[in-house]
């Protein structure tokens, strides 16, 4: 499989067969995930496992390092789960407990999702004789400062060694990320498989006006918003700067931010400084994020970098007009002027101008949202992602 290629039927010749066993034998896959929060990577893992389970030749289990929403979602799917909470287990204890969990299970593939889990999977594979190790790279490292930066550098160095010597394939969620990773790893090590959303689950029973009323937004107001972690990489300071410029030109617009994170207090202070604290709703964590997205006329992504953001795909599926900076995997999803608007700038005025244009031209916005929904349904479903991941597993198991 060449670097950056996506799995295909040729890669999966004899896909029902596990090496040394009959063609009717199921093969065993275990995912190793932190599960300490419910963000884009966790949403993707939950959707992936749900649809992998629908393949008769795949027997799934999972090891999570924390209880929480992801553990609940996996259990709900009927997938065997072992939770080893980090708060009550050292890394050594987690390794020992997971080793006992794998005893007698004949795991064929371990699939991990972040730094700590990648190291754990590599050690478990060596201990338990697991032939194939896969990881998903959900995003590139986020810039840090001070002690966090030193710790990040050390973790990245170790993670790179694990990827180079103890990992069979690295799944990248965007072609841009694949190019970055392929410069650092052996040819053929990285494969691109786009994120996909659970189209059965991404829905809201509310109409746009009902969704706005639930948020306390007046009936004659337009709504521009975003959702995600409140972290520096998301550049929500740009979102608020954009909001001030729009508010200076339109009085009947409200701005919504759903999510939690380290930046919350700074963002609240910035809203006050900009004089828009009465125009911005900082909602915190929401379990009804699809209802929040339904309330939006426009969803804005102002991040400095993204892998393949799940909230982008979710907004498109819900027919919300998207204005996004052209970073990371976003241009692989949005076709400029067809399924959304890309802004090649970190200038908040450019973001504001694009939003105002969308508010003014409702017919063009409607056409874009319809095209966006079709694109997600055709190219970015969790069912399609799970099919490609399964082909990858088959290819690797049959050649291990």
DSSP assignments along 128-153, one per residue = HT--EEEEEE-SPPPP--HHHHHHHH
pLDDT in tens, 45-72: 999 999 999 999 999 999 999 999 999 9
Cβ contacts of residue 215 below 8 Å, gap of 6+?
A: 223, 256, 281, 283, 292, 295
**Judgement on whether residues 266 and 132 belong to the same structural domain of the protein:** no
Residue the block writes with tokens 């339109």? 250
Confidence grade of residue 393 (pLDDT, cut at 50, 70, 90)? very high
CA distances to 17, 41, 116, 149, 328 from 185, in Å: 29, 22, 19, 23, 19
**Judgement on whether residues 169 and 189 belong to the same structural domain of the protein:** yes
pLDDT at 14: 32
pLDDT in tens, 296-346: 999 999 999 999 999 999 999 999 999 999 999 999 999 999 999 999 999
DSSP 96: H
What proportion of the chain, given as a percentage, has pLDDT over 70? 92
Contact 266, 235 (CB under 8 A): no
Least confident of 18-27, 181-190, 253-262, 369-378: 18-27
Domain assignment present for residue 173? The answer is yes
**Judgement on whether residues 100 and 133 belong to the same structural domain of the protein:** yes
Domain with 330 in it: 208-379
pLDDT at 122: 96
**Judgement on whether residues 170 and 29 belong to the same structural domain of the protein:** yes
**Judgement on whether residues 212 and 191 belong to the same structural domain of the protein:** no
pTM assigned to the model = 0.88
Question: For strand 169-172 and strand 253-258, is the pairing parallel, antiparallel, or unpaired?
Answer: unpaired
**Judgement on whether residues 309 and 181 belong to the same structural domain of the protein:** no
**Judgement on whether residues 393 and 360 belong to the same structural domain of the protein:** no
Token pair of 107, please?
Answer: 């795991």
Confidence grade of residue 32 (pLDDT, cut at 50, 70, 90)? very high
Domain assignment present for residue 202? The answer is no
Q: Could you give the number of structural domains in the chain? A: 2
Distance in angstroms (rounded) separating the CA atoms of residues 292 and 313 = 15
**Judgement on whether residues 52 and 180 belong to the same structural domain of the protein:** yes
Burial class (CB in 10 A: 0-12, 13-18, 19+), 213: middle
Q: Which is more confident, 17 or 306?
A: 306
Domain assignment present for residue 347? The answer is yes
CA distances to 82, 238, 246, 254, 346 from 264, in Å: 33, 14, 21, 18, 21
**Judgement on whether residues 233 and 335 belong to the same structural domain of the protein:** yes
b vs e for 4-28, b when ≥16 Cβ sit within 10 Å of the residue's Cβ? beebeeebbeebebbeeeeeeeebb
Confidence grade of residue 385 (pLDDT, cut at 50, 70, 90)? very high
pLDDT for residue 9 is more than 80:
no
Domain assignment present for residue 4? The answer is no
**Judgement on whether residues 226 and 308 belong to the same structural domain of the protein:** yes
**CATH code of the domain covering residue 332:** 3.40.50.2000
**Judgement on whether residues 288 and 326 belong to the same structural domain of the protein:** yes
Q: Please, what is the average pLDDT of the chain?
A: 91
Domain assignment present for residue 3? The answer is no
Handedness of CA 159, 198, 302, 281 (dihedral sign): negative
**Residue 144 CA, distance from chain mean position:** 20
Domain assignment present for residue 215? The answer is yes
**Judgement on whether residues 225 and 95 belong to the same structural domain of the protein:** no
Cβ contacts of residue 19 below 8 Å, gap of 6+?
A: 397, 398, 399, 400
Helices (H), 326-381: 330-333, 348-360, 362-379
Distance in angstroms (rounded) separating the CA atoms of residues 311 and 112 = 22
Domain assignment present for residue 261? The answer is yes
Domain assignment present for residue 228? The answer is yes
């Amino acid at each position: 499989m060449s670097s950056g290629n996506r799995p295909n039927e040729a890669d999966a010749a004899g896909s029902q067969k596990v090496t040394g066993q009959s063609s009717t034998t199921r093969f065993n896959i275990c995912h190793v995930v932190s599960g300490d929060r419910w963000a884009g990577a966790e949403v993707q893992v939950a959707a992936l496992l749900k649809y992998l389970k629908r393949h008769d030749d795949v027997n799934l289990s999972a090891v999570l390092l924390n209880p929480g929403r992801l553990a609940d979602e996996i259990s709900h799917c009927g997938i065997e789960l072992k939770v080893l909470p980090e708060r009550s287990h050292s890394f050594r204890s987690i390794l020992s407990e997971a080793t006992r969990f794998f005893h007698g299970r004949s795991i064929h593939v371990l699939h991990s999702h972040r730094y700590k889990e990648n190291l754990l999977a590599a050690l478990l594979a060596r201990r338990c004789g697991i032939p194939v190790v896969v990881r998903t790279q959900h995003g590139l490292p986020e810039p840090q400062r001070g002690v966090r930066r030193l710790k990040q550098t050390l973790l990245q160095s170790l993670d790179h060694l694990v990827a180079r010597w103890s990992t069979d394939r690295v799944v990248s969620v965007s072609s841009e990320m694949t190019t970055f990773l392929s410069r650092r790893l052996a040819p053929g090590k990285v494969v691109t498989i786009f994120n996909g959303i659970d189209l059965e689950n991404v829905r809201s029973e509310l109409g746009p006006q009902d969704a706005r009323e639930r948020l306390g937004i007046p009936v004659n107001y337009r709504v521009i918003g975003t959702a995600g972690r409140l972290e520096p990489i998301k550049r929500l300071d740009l979102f608020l700067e954009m909001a001030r410029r729009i508010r200076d030109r339109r009085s009947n617009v409200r701005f919504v931010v759903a999510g939690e994170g380290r930046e919350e207090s700074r963002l609240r202070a910035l809203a006050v400084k900009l004089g828009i604290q009465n125009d911005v709703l900082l909602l915190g964590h929401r379990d009804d994020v699809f209802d929040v997205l339904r309330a939006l006329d426009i969803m804005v992504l102002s991040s400095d970098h993204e892998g393949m953001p799940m909230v982008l795909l979710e907004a498109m599926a819900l027919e919300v007009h998207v204005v996004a900076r052209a970073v990371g995997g976003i241009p692989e999803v949005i076709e400029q002027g067809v399924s959304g608007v890309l802004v090649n700038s970190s200038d908040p005025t450019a973001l504001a101008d694009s939003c105002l244009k969308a508010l003014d031209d409702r017919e063009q916005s409607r056409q874009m949202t319809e095209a966006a929904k079709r694109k997600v349904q055709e190219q970015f479903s969790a069912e399609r992602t799970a099919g490609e991941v399964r082909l990858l597993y088959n290819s690797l198991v049959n050649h291990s």
